[in-house]
Amino acid sequence: LKNQANIRIKDIARMAGVSVGTVDRVLHERGRVSWEALTKVQAVLKNIDYKPNFIARSLGRAKQLRIIALIPNPELDAYWLEVQAGIQQARGEWTHYGVTVAPYLYQHDGKDAMEAVAREALETNPDGFVIGPIFQTLAVPVIEKLRDKQIPFVLFNANIPELNPLNFIGQDLFQSGVLAARLMGAEKRTEENILAVLHVGEDIQEAVYLLDKERGFRDYFNKTNKSHHVTIQSYNVNVPIHAIRDQVENVLNIPGLSGIYVTTSKALGPIASLLETHPRRSEITLIGYDMLEENLKYLKKGIITYLINQNPKRQPIVGISHLVNSLLFKKNVPPIELFPLEIIAKENLESYLASSIH
């Protein structure tokens, strides 16, 4: 017979001399149990190592679990399209557990769009939210409403720690900048050189988290003796994509420029294509984020030196998994889950693309 070794609720009931119903009420603290029965069951639980069978638990559930995934409308943004793909995958993985995941998309621009969409989602009275915020100031009122209604939520992409979510998924952004700095290899150069930090495609007032990356980047060179002949200049490039050209060319023409660090996954393609035709191309290291199709094109060509992978697809998958673990299985989830800072070079790119875990 199966699972002979495993202890079931039925076994606990027999050992404590009560019924399975009573054991269930003790385990889930549902009340309506006498002090006498409580102590008997607790005594048994102390002595054995009961591991509930999550499989049976979800089979026997009557209730559906409704989860809302609230993200910006991906439109043509490759980063958020990856996120959306992750949500779809999680959806498939959890259906058999009676969990539904409904994506709700808000607009980047319309100032009250996120709040309106969130309100709409709330009317379906869901059990939990997974939120990928891009504008801090807009996300805060939405999330405060969730707290009022006691609806648990998980954040990914950008954290807002003071709202203490059930869990945050992302990366250590400061360290991400440190890593980018190391990969520049600038301290090994003997001549004076300039590094440019480009914050592309985001309003730096809203996307404050990008500044953490810059701080990490600068910090690396400030440490010990790595900074003697390195100068760092930073630029906010928040214009429409067709207007980017002039700004980037100005940067490229800085005398002594030896590296460009783009802190987002945006517009790396246009930047790389300008660099490709630049006379000093082989002397300039270009580092950016994420394995988006256009980025890979230039990584393969050797124009982009390294990409740091933020795993946009995996972030919502793990977020939803944490939410389900908490809600359905009553498991404890860590308050914060930082993904590894994956270094993608031309030479290990294929190994990442072929790997099914990504």
Q: Least distance to a second copy from the beta carbon of 30, Å?
A: 20
**CA 250 – CA 168 distance, rounded (Å):** 38
Contact flag: residue 187 with a second copy (CB under 8 A): no
Minimum CB distance to DNA smaller for 62 or for 243: 62
Report the residue from 59, 116, 208, 241 that binds a second copy according to the rule CB under 8 A.
59
Q: Which of residues 29-58 bind DNA (CB under 7 A)?
A: 31-34, 36-37, 52-53, 56-57
Residues binding a second copy: what is the number (CB under 8 A)? 50
Minimum CB distance to DNA smaller for 96 or for 228: 96
Report the residue from 43, 48, 56, 116 that binds a second copy according to the rule CB under 8 A.
56
Q: Least distance to a second copy from the beta carbon of 56, Å?
A: 6
Contact flag: residue 188 with DNA (CB under 7 A): no
Whether the Cβ atoms of residue 305 and residue 289 lie closer than 8 Å to each other:
no
Q: Least distance to a second copy from the beta carbon of 336, Å?
A: 9
Residue indicated by tokens 């003071």: 162
Report the residue from 9, 83, 131, 197 that binds DNA according to the rule CB under 7 A.
9
Contact flag: residue 125 with a second copy (CB under 8 A): no
Q: Is the dihedral of CA 322, 65, 134, 305 positive or negative?
A: positive
Q: Which of residues 162-181 bind a second copy (CB under 8 A)?
A: 171-172, 175, 178-179, 181
Contact flag: residue 238 with DNA (CB under 7 A): no
Contact flag: residue 53 with a second copy (CB under 8 A): yes
Contact flag: residue 62 with DNA (CB under 7 A): yes
Q: Least distance to a second copy from the beta carbon of 124, Å?
A: 16
Q: For residue 356, what are the contacts with CB-CB under 8 A and spacing of at least 6?
A: none
Q: Least distance to DNA from the beta carbon of 95, Å?
A: 11
Report the residue from 18, 118, 143, 166 that binds DNA according to the rule CB under 7 A.
18
Minimum CB distance to DNA smaller for 2 or for 228: 2
Contact flag: residue 97 with DNA (CB under 7 A): no
Q: Least distance to DNA from the beta carbon of 37, Å?
A: 4
Minimum CB distance to a second copy smaller for 235 or for 352: 352
Contact flag: residue 334 with a second copy (CB under 8 A): yes
Residues of this chain that interact with DNA (CB under 7 A) are 1-3, 6, 8-10, 18-22, 24-25, 27-28, 31-34, 36-37, 52-53, 56-57, 59-63
